[in-house]
Structures are given as structure tokens and as C-alpha cells.
Structure 1
Amino acid sequence: MTTIRRRVARTLALPVAAVLVLLAVVVAIEARGYERAVSAARAVRQVLAVQDLVQELQTERGLAAGLLGGNAGFRAELGPARARVDERRTRLDPLFTRPLDALDGVRISTDAATVSRAAAFGFYTTRISDLSRLETDLDGQGDAELRRGAATLRALGDAKEAIAQERAFLNGVFSAGGFRTGEFLQFVTMRSARDAALATFARYATTAQRASADYVFGTGAAQVARYFEDLALASGDGRALTVNPQSWWSAHTTMLDDLLRLEQHVGSVINARAEVLRDQAARRMIGLGVLVLLGVAGAIALAVAASRSIARPLTELADLASRLAGEKLPISVRRVAAGEADAEPPPMTAPADATAEVHAVADALDRVQRTAYALATEQAHLRRGTTDSLADLGRRHQNLLRRQLALITRLEREEADPAGLADLFELDHLATRMRRNAESLLVLVGASGPRPSFEPVPVEDVVRAAVAEVEEYRRVTLRRIDEVRLAGTAAGAVAHLLAELVENGLAFSSPEVEVEIQGRLVGDRYLIAVVDQGVGMTGADLDEANQRLRGEADFLVAPARYLGHYVVGRLARDLGAEVVLTPSPVTGVTARVALPAALIVAEPALPPPPPVTVEYLPAPALPQQRPAPDGRTPNGLPRRPPRAPRVARLHPAPPDPALAPDDTRSRLTAFRSGVARGAQPEEAQP
């Protein structure tokens, strides 16, 4: 069922969804820009860290080339240089330093002079090139300034690498005293790569960055390095070079350190630009997020306000109608049924701020309430009148049956003919069953009244009294029944309850099948089971029957075949007992009756026996017992009185006069004949 809130929500769902989709697209674009800015800043930091490592590798390469060129003075500097390389490696992710996995082997070969200068130079140069070409994604950034800074940084790194190669290469040449075959061409190639990289740097660098580069190449160390380069260029014809390699190394190293600082400055500018882009993207995302939240909140607020203005009055009206149907109207009907006046529920009114349509609904519901109250009141009066009539009818039947039973009892005492006496016994049995039906009617209408008080009755006698009130009592078998005594005020009600259950079991069982009754004392309760092997009941029928046994239904609106269940339920409620129907082990139904401890009367305790006194004579002789007092055995134990009859009549009858033996025999014969005739089918009876 669709509510007003859902309808309003569906109406606003499409435009709100469209706005949210557009905002989501914009946010996604900004989020991508933010992610790229963050990635650029991270890439710049990685490039600077790699350049630090490259700087130290370049130094180690130059020292190794000088050592392999024959200058043993570089051995002392090679150890600290290697330590700085290793320290820079630990700062980077192992993924970036993977090209240096074979570095330890080259170092060992260099120390042992088992590797040529050219091979060592080539190894270091290749690894430095691999590190410098790591993918950083700076060229793919959307910001032009960031791309230009990345190009400047790369060009400066290439120029710095070319200068470092030149330093390492000439360090070996100067240590060896001149160029070997093909080495001059390599030197010229390195200078050409340096000049090309510096030209690229000049094209992308800012004015301040170009000025910084010019300053680096105009220092004294740079001029000394240029002097040594000119000497090397003049020795292309193979002449010997007699120069101090240490001076060349020191001048070039100073210039490379200056270029490293320039490189770090360019990287810091790029990093600052990436941070600015990241902050801008973050602010835009926050702004868009706030707009999205405001848009969603506004849409929700509009939807809630629109639905609340309509749904809230209707909800209050529905709650009022629900309370009317569930509480107010039933209370008013019960008050009317109890004879109270002015029990009509208050009128239904809509909230003051409700619309005209809601007020119209409230007026209609108020008319429905008045009509329902009138009908319910009429039904309550009719029900009370019906109940009173049934109670009066039940009492009349009960009085007539009591008189009839008294008359039958008197006729039985006066009847001498066995056949007539058998008819009177059968009539007495039918009248007893009719009396139980009259009592059932009073139980249903709640007019049974207080029951007479008797002495405590053995539970077996109560069970036998219940069996005596059913038609086919000979099909009932008593199994084990634990001996207890029930309160006299509850004996009749328990017998009535059991009679209804036994008769129900007999009615739904085959004529040749017996109904069993068992009784057990379990804890402080007494359990009685009435077991039949009849047609049984389905699970749904058992649930409905147990509801009737719990008193959760009204007998006035139920089929007449279920009246016995309502009688048992009312009796169980009055006794505080519990009755449940369950399937029998094989087939049929088992009725379990749990009698509370309040209905069980304890057996009277026997008084303790007095002590036995034994006297001893002076001479050896057997002890003589003193005479036993009255009511005790010669041994001094209490004498058990004769037990009262097991079967007690729960409905008192006038005492019978003393009968002669012949009269007793005739009555017994008539009783057997009446029982036999009662067991025959009606069409077979004369």
C-alpha cells in the first residue's frame, strides 16, 4: 500500500536524482584533479629522492673510474661515497632501487681490479639512466605550469648526468695519462649531450632558473673545470695529458653540488605548485560537497514538509481511530454491558492545522464511531439478555433434573421388579448426563455459582465419577492413577471437566476402541491424561482447539460442536488448571490436564507410636509385655482403622433403607440388565 510520503518522495525523486547525478559528475572530475595533484606532489618527492641517490651514484662512478684508471688516491674517498649511496637507497621503495641489485658485485670487482674502467663506467651509467627514467606521470598533468616545471627538472637532470659522466670519464683519462682508442669520441659525445640538455633547460626554465644556472657555470670551480675540459679537447690527437686528477675532480664535484642545489630548487617549485593544485582541488571538492549536502537536505526538507503537512494529520487521525477500535469502543461496550450509563466515547476531531479534506475524514470517522457504538451497545444488551436467559434456563433444568433424580431414586428403592429396576437405572444414567449438560450451560454463561464443600476426595473416585457421567463408560479403561486427595470444593468441577474430555474422546473413536485415563503426581502438580485412538486432529485444528481451551474465544459465535471445549476452558480457568490437546503416540488425541498444587490435599499424618516398656524379672525368664492400650496392637503400634469406601458420591442422595438379601439380588440383576440394554443400539432396543 502506497503512503503519501512515498508519493511525495517519488515526485521529488527524479529532479533530485538528476541534480545529484550532475553534482556527482562534477565532484568526480574535481576528485580526479585532486588525485592527480596529490600524485604529482608525491611524484616530485620521489624524483627528488631519486636525484639524491643519482648524485651519490655519480660520485661513486667517478671515484671508481679514477681508481681503475690507476689513481690509488681515490680509494680512501670511495668507501664513504658507497656508504652515502647505500643510505640513499634505504630511503626509497625497493621497487625503485631494483636496478641496483648487482651493485655489490661491481664494487667487489672494482676493489679487486678485475673489471675494466670502461665496463665499470658503463654499468654505473646504465643504472643511473634507468633511475632517471622512472615513470612519474608528471608530463601528463593537466596544469601547464606543472608540466613545464617537470620538463625543466628533467632537462636539468639530463645536463647534470652528462656533466657527471664527463667528470667520471675524464677522471679516468687523467689518471691514465691520456685518451685510449675511442675514448676521445666518447668525451665529445658527453659534451654534446650536456649542451643539448642545457639548451632544453633554457627553453623550459623560468628567468630566475636560467639566471641561477648561469651563476653556477660562472663560478670559479666551473672555470677550473672548463680549463681542464679545454686541455682534454686539445689532446684529441693522442698526446699525453699530465694534469692533477684530484684538482679536476674537486672542481667538477663543486659544480655538480651547485647543480644539485639548483635541481632541488626546481623540484621545490614544482612541489609547491602541486601543493597549490591539491589545496585548490580540495577546496573545490569541499565546496561541491557542501552544495550537494545542501541540495539533498533541501530536497529532503521540502519532501518532509510537504508530506508532513498532509500525512501528520491523517496519521494522528488514524491513531485516534485505532485507539477507538482497540481501546475506547471496547471499554465503552463493556461498561454498557455492565449497566453503566454515559459510556459513549468522545467524538473524533482532526488537528486544528489540518486541511479541509482531513476535517471531512474526521467527521466521517466520527459518524462511523457513533454508528459502531450504537450497534455495539445493542449487541451488548442482546448478549447480556441472551446470557441471562441461558442462565435462567440452565437453573430451571438443573432444578427439574435434581427433582427428577430424587424421584428416580425413590422409585428405585420401591421397585421390586428387576426389569423395571433396570429401566429406572437407565433413566437415572440419562438424567445424570442431562444434569451435566445443564451444569455445562451454567458454566458457559458464568452462572455456575459456588460449589458445595465436601471432605477431600481420592482422585480415583473423582475419575470414576467422571466416567459414570458418560454414555459409553464401559469403553473407558483406568490405567495407573497415583493416589492423592483433591479438595472437596474442586472435586465436582474436576469430574465435570474430565467427563467432557472423556466423552469427546469416545465420540471421535471407533466403537471397539477404548479410551485410557492415567494420573501421575509430578512435582507439586497432578497430571491426568485422557488418551484416545480416534481419528485425530490436524495441527491447525489442534491450535484452534487449544485456543478454545485457554478461553481465548467466545462460545456464542462458535459452532455448537465445540461447546465442550468452552466448558472445559471455563472450568480449567476457575480451577487454575491447564488443559492441552496433543497428538497421541499412534493416532488420536491426548488431553493433558495439569491440576495445580492448591487442589491437592495432603494425607493426614499418623501419630507417632508410644514407647514400649519391657520389664525384666529377677529370675531368668522372658519379658512380659504390658497390656496394650485401646486402639493399639499388643506391640504398642497404632491400629489402622478400616479404610473408607473408595467411591464417594459427589452428588448427595437420600440414604437407602436396609434391604433384604433377595431385594439386593434383584436390584443387582436389574442393574446388569439395564447396563446391557443401554449398551445396545437404539434400533435394537424393544
Structure 2
Amino acid sequence: MKQISLRRGRGSSIRSRVLTIALIPSIALMLVGLAIGGYLIFDAVNGRDYAQRIRDSEAPSLPFFVQVQEERRLTLRELAGDRSQHATLTEQRAKTDAAAQGVAAHLQKFVGDSPDSVQRNIATLNGLLQKAPQIRQSADSGQLPLLDAFTFYNQILDQFVEGLTGLAQDAPNAENAYQRITAVPLFTAIDQMQRANALAAAAVAGGGFTDETYRAYVTEVGSYRSQLESSVSRMLPDVKAKFDQLVASDPWKAVTTVENTFLQNSKATLPIPEQTWLQAARGVSDAMMRGFVEQSGTATTQAVDDADRTLITSAIAAAIALLVAIGVFVIALRLSNRLIGRLARLREDTLDVAEIRLPELVDRVRAGEPVDLDDKGHFLDHGDDEIGQVAEAFNKAQQTAIAAAVEEARTREGTKAVFLNIAHRSQVIVHRQLKVLDQAERKQEDPEQLETLFQLDHLSTRARRNAENLIILGGGQPGRQWRKPVTLAELTRGASAETEDFARVKTAKMPAMAVQGPVVGDLVHLLAELIDNATSFSPPQSRVELRGNVVGKGVVIEVEDQGLGIEPEQAAELNAMLADPPDFGIMALSAEPRLGLFVVARLAARHGISVHLRESAYGGTRAIVLVRTDLLAPVPSDQPEDEVDPESTEVPEAAPLLPGRRARHRTEIPAERPELPVPMPVAPQQQAPEQPGSTLPPLPPRPPRVPRPETPRPEPIRPEPVRAEGRPQPVQPPAWPPADTRPQDGRPPQTRRPGPEAPGRPPLPQRRRQANLVPQLMEDRPAAQREEVREDTPELARNRLAAFQQGTRRGRDTEPTDDYTDLDMYGDRD
């Protein structure tokens, strides 16, 4: 430990000394550059802030300037004796106050960092604005002389003009200050013109000028004309062009005509209508104000541009100084730390190989791609010195790791082959076992023995599905395949029939849609796994609901149980696995592997089917399976629609099955031919009305109906149906060849078409009417009870009898024909 510490200490000391030699001049140069650049940047920021504050203050200041001028004109008119516009004056005062508040807020930005003269102007302006209510009150009472009011409003605007002059003198450079100063006389001329117009308006309203007002009028007119003459030569070209157009316009001529008339004779009257003159004066004032805004705005824009250029130049200079310092430091560091740099590159290359390139090679090996162990492109090359020897040692370690990965991949492939071989062998054995059970079920007539055989059949079906699970996990393809589409109703029945607790599965009526043949086997397997999970993780007395619905993207099949559900965190993990199934590996399995859901994820990913788990309204789990539209097909014309709703309480009208056909446990998917719904296997029960050998209570006689001429057709066997004399018995045409109808209790057999008999099969058992009735049903009912029995139509009696007959004839199917592809090893079970 001490040797390691000493070695580290010596290395750190050498590095610090070398870096000190390089850092001292670099840091000194960088500090000088940053100081100069910082000063220039600070100066540019101040100049830009100054110009921006002036620009921001122009927006509220100009409206305030116009509102004060208008209030001055209306106040002088009222003091001259014309009180007809007092309401207008009151409204104008409110506008002036609102504009004054906006100006006061912006002027606060100039307090503290502006010249003393500007700050004095701001303070004086605030004092005058606070005095405005008192002046207005005196004016309203008529106690304020006209010239005093004129002077008060002039002082407000004079402070404004003096403030502009002070700001122009405080400009960051001489050129910008000159441009601002040349704009101030234009602003002064506009105000003086409006002063003269206000005095003239008061004189017109009061019947003429007084000596004082006339002298003030002459002074204002002369002053503004003198200011304009001195400002024209210093106007910007665009501003001067617009001013020349204004001078040549009619409003300017009207204002000039009125001024010249009053200058020649103070007692003269207006040469034009008063309203025309006032509109012309306002138009001229607004046009001149726009010229001032353009002249002043150009100076402000130039000041901002100058500040931006200075800022950019300063930033570039500081950046250059910084880059030079960094360049000197980098050069010195590279020259002094070349050895350390090579070691750092070796470390980076080693990490790149260990974290990126080596895992990619291992993945290629596991995927079965050929890898050349002697390929030098995967190795590090850092020369022949000591660092290169370290890299060569790592290359040898990398080569050993790749060789181990190749050997592991070969072992995995061999294990996978054995894995699939065992699964296929188990699959063949289970298939043979199912055939033996099939033969035993056909020969056996004892209900108890049949129930046991049915249980064995279900266990064998589950064993077959487990073998298929192993094949799927091993990357193989199960043997069961279909070429033709299969309806959703038959598909879901087949899936529920593969579960042990199929009796708990309640299937709703499915949409009249079919699934393409290549997808049927995997979708049946997927649904069977979900149904099996639902029945396994829910109480035995609860039911599992299976329903389907057509949606915009295809068909949704929902499997919903009433169990305890799944924790939200676990549900999120399972949904992530179902959306993106991970690579299967024995070592990757957790303590609770959930192979069924892993198989579901694999099958769903194979066909692009979406599977999502969510909480059920009952507290359990709802599995939502979305089958895309491109996996669906129209219902084949040779297959009947699903006419029976499993959730319905009505007795469906049964159609006779093919003679000699084997009984199903519940409902299984046919091998590319239509399959009628069949009941699930149940143990013999003691309820008489629905069991073989029982009879329905006799129906009360009804009046005979007029018979309809019908073609004679075979009728299903009924247990002593009550008929009215002279009335023909209605018949139901079968959809398939009728089943065998044997004579009962010595009665002659009914007319039927003979069906094919399966060779080598024992004869079907004979029914004996009323042989298994309970004593209560053997006795006659009292007449009163018979009267209470509701009248059943012949159609309802026929439907009941047909449903009963359908259940007893499930075991008389013909031998299934094999319409599967060569990969199908299970006949018409799947």
C-alpha cells in the first residue's frame, strides 16, 4: 500500500509541475484579454441600455405631449368665454392624467443614472403634474387668467423639451448626440405652433385678441417659424422630403393663411371656417410630429446599432484573447503531457472495445454469424513501446473472450436443438395420447367413464400446449396451422376449450369476422394462455368473461377475470414485456418467470398483435388483445354465423350435427370447415327436464291450425310431443344431414334420410322414454295445475327439444377428415 501511494504521489507531482509551466503564461494572457474585453463589453452594454431606454420612453411620451396640447387648447377656449365644450374638456383631462401616469413610470428609469439636469427636469415635471388639479379647479371657477393657464401648460412641455436636450447631450458618442440635438428644434417648433393655434382659437372664441394675448401670439408664430428654418437644413433626407410635401399641402396653406391674417390685423376674422382651420392645424402638427419621431428614432436606432457593434467587437476581442490563451495552454499541455495523452487514448480505446465492439462481436457470435478470431480490425494498435505492449495484452484477453463466446454459442445451439427435439417428441406423444383418448371416447357409453376421459383429454390438451410453449420459446413453429380463415366465434371457443376450467368461461357473441388461416393457430394459443391465467388467478366460483368488439384498427378481444388483480408496478413491467418481448434465456428468468405471458408476448410480436393488461372493474385483470385489420378476413360463405349468444337465457334452435361426429369438451376450432356450437362436458345431473330420458310436461291442446303445404322433411326426435288432431306437426329443415332417429318404446321410426355409419363403431344407445323420471314427474298433475301451465307455442317446444337433442347427439359425429397442412399433427382437434 505504501509503494502504491508513493508511486501515485510522484506521478501527481510531475504532472502538476509540468502543468504549472504551461498554465502561468496562459492564465496571464487570458486575464488581460478578459479585462480588456470586459471593459469594452460593459461600455457597449451601457450605451445600448441608454438607447433602449430612450426608445422605450418615446412610446408613452409622445401621446402625453399631444394630450397636454389638446387640454391647453380647450382650457384657453373655456377661459376666453366659450364653455360649450366643457364636457369635452373633462374627458380630455382624464386622457391627460392616464398619459401622465405612463410617462411617470418610464421616467423613473432615468432617475439615478442620468445627468443632473435631466433629473431636475423630471422632478419639476412631477411637481407641475401634482399642481394640475388646482389649476384645473381655478380654470373651472373662472378665477384663472388665460395667460396664467397658458404659461402653466407651456412649462410642462418646456420641461419635456429640456429633458430631451439633456438626454441628447448625454449620448454615448458625439455623432449620436449631434443627431439628437438637431431633432430637438423640430420638437420645439411643433409645440410653439400649437401654442399659437391655441391662442388664436381662444381669441376667436372670446371675440378677439387682447394686447397681451396678441403679443404672445406674434412671439410664438415668429419663434416656431425661426426654429423650422434652422431645422430644415439639418433634417434627414427622408424627413426633409416629407416636410417639403407638407409645406406644399393644403392644410399647411390653411394654417399659414390664418396666421398671416392675424399677423396683419389682430381684429381680423377667420378667413376660413373654424373647424376647417382646427383640422388643418391638427393635421400639420401630427405630420411634423411624425417627422420628429423619424428624426429622433434614427438617432436612437443608430445608437443601438453602434452599441451592438461595440458589443460584438468587444466580445470577439475577448474571445480571441481567450482562444489565444487556451491555444497556448493546449499546445503546452500536448507537448508536456504526450505520454499521459497516449495513456488516456489507450483507456478510451479499451473502454470502447469492452463496452461496444466486444459486445457486438458476442452478439454476432450468438446470432450464428461467422467471426474471424484472427481479424486484426478488432484489436488495438498503439505502437511497439510499453503502451503498445499493454494494448497487445488486452488484445489477447479480447481474443480469449471471443473464443469463449463462440464456444458458448455452439453449446447454446446444441442445447436449443436438444430442447426443441424433446419438445417435439413430447408433442408427438401427447398427440398419440389424444388419439387414443379420442378412440376411447367414441367407444365408451358410460357417462362417468366419459367424464373421466374428458378430464384426461383436457389434461392432455394442456400438455400439448405446454409442449408448444417449449417449441415457441425455443424459436420453433408449432405444428398446428390453418390455410383458410376461421371465424372469431369458433376461434374463441377453441381457445376456451383448451383450458381446464372451461366451464367458468362465459363467451359473449363475437363479431361476424374471421381470422386469416396462418394466424389462427398462434391466436388460439395466445388466447388460451390468457384464459388459463384468468382461471388460475381467480376464485374457483367466479367466472371469466370473453368478449369481442370491432374497433377502428381491427377487432378487440377481451379476457376479464374477477381475481385479486396485479400490482400497478408489476402490471407496468408485464405490459412492457408484452410490447417488446426480451430475448429468452434460462438465466434471465426471474423467481416468478410467467412463461405463459412470455409465450403470449412472442406470439403477439410474431403477428403484430397488441396485448395490454389493465385493472378490471371487478378488481381483477382485463387482458385486451387487438388484432389488426390486415389479419382479418370476411366470414367464409360456407361457414354459419355465430347464432347462439352464450350469455343469452333463450334456448336456441339447434341444428342437427353430422352423423357420427365425436363429442367435444366445449367448442374447438374446426379444421377449415364449419363447426356448430357444442356444449361443454358436464357430469350427469339429476335435473329431469333437460336430461336424456326425460319428457316435457304435456302441453294443453289447442285448436287446430290450417296446415301449410310443405315439402316433407326429416324431423328431429321428440319425447312425445302433444299434437292436436288433424293438425300437421311443424318441422324445421336441418342445416346438416339429420342425425340417426331410432324407434323409441316400440313405436315405428319417423321418416328420415339414412346417414352414414362409421365402420367398426358400436351401435348408439337406445333411449327409453320415462325410464329415468323421478317419482314426482311420473304422477299425473291435478287439473288446476294444468290450467296454470302457460301455453307454449309449437316453435318453443320444438326449440327446447332440439336443444336437448343436440346435446345428446354430440357424441355421434362422423370421423373427422384431415384438411390441415403437413405441419398439422392434431387432426380436427385444433
Q: TM-score, normalised by structure 2?
A: 0.40
Q: More helix per residue: 1 or 2? A: 1
Q: TM-score, normalised by structure 1?
A: 0.48
Q: Which has the larger radius of gyration?
A: 1
